[in-house]
């Protein structure tokens, strides 16, 4: 029977109960194409211990959409494309999963060391209602409900996931959003008399696509056309009355 010495993880051997001398049968090791013998340096028990330890310490990157840690995401992706673990072709599927990971998850996001996003995807200047500032002396707020309904796309999230909200200053809202995501403004409505009220009507109309709060999993064209229709209805109602 062929054997190999397990390197353990940080002087810990999860396999010690079964193999006190750390000499483990080769069928207990995963495949590693870059190794001289084609096998990982840690047995499967020690690899599992390593992964659990890294996850517990919070030092492993996670996918921003699925929230899965990187190695789990890669395995799921590889399996979904026909890969089978512990077969000669498994590593090639993992390599393809790694390429896809790099496309979907920016490096700075993976390791949480990035300064806030400032990619300026939206080149045009977004509209703003010029209204007086609220007074700090009391809790009195400015009585000016005018504003715009907008659709923002976070490019860190899946293709058909959009944030639909309302603001008197979409540019300021976009700048705020880009401190925690990679946002672009897809659409802003015309100025409306009561943007908060209109936002509620739009959310109600799109409720079957709602994921949570202001987030909707919806085709972009449906979202835009719905907003246009409701805005037009509000204008027509205002004129008629």
199-226, pLDDT tens digit by residue?
999 999 999 999 999 999 999 999 999 9
**Confidence at residue 32, expressed as pLDDT on a 0 to 100 scale:** 72
**Confidence at residue 90, expressed as pLDDT on a 0 to 100 scale:** 78
The three state secondary structure string of 23-36 is EEEHHHEEECCCCC
Strand partners, 3: 25
pLDDT in tens, 180-193: 888 999 999 999 99
- Give the pTM: 0.46
Q: Is 181 helix (H, G, I), strand (E, B) or coil?
A: coil
The distance from CA 239 to its chain's CA centroid, rounded to whole angstroms, is 43
Distance CA 171, CA 158 (A): 23
- Average pLDDT of the chain? 81
Tokens in use for 139?
């809790």
Q: Which residues contact 238 (CB under 8 A, 6 or more apart)?
A: 193
Under-50 pLDDT residues of the chain: 108-119, 239, 241
């Amino acid at each position: 029977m062929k054997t190999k010495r397990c390197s353990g993880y940080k002087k810990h051997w999860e396999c010690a109960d079964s193999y006190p001398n750390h000499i483990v049968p080769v069928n207990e090791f995963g495949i590693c194409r870059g190794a001289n013998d084609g096998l990982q340096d840690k047995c499967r028990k020690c690899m599992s211990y390593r992964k659990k330890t890294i996850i517990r310490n919070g030092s492993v990157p996670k996918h921003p959409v699925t929230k899965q840690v990187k190695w789990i995401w890669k395995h799921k992706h590889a399996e979904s494309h026909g890969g089978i673990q512990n077969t000669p072709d498994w590593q090639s599927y993992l390599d393809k999963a790694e390429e896809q990971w790099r496309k979907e998850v920016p490096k700075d996001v993976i390791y949480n060391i990035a300064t806030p996003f400032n990619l300026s995807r939206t080149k045009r200047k977004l509209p703003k209602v010029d209204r007086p500032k609220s007074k700090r002396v009391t809790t009195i707020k400015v009585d000016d409900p005018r504003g715009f309904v907008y659709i923002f796309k976070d490019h860190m999230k899946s293709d058909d996931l959009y944030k639909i909200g309302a603001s008197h200053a979409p540019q300021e809202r976009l700048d705020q959003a880009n401190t925690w995501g990679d946002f672009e403004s897809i659409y802003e409505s015309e100025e409306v008399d009561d943007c908060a009220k209109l936002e509620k009507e739009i959310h109600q109309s799109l409720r079957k696509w709602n994921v949570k709060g202001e987030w909707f999993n919806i085709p972009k064209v449906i979202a835009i056309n719905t907003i246009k229709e409701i805005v037009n209805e509000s204008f027509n109602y205002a004129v008629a009355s």
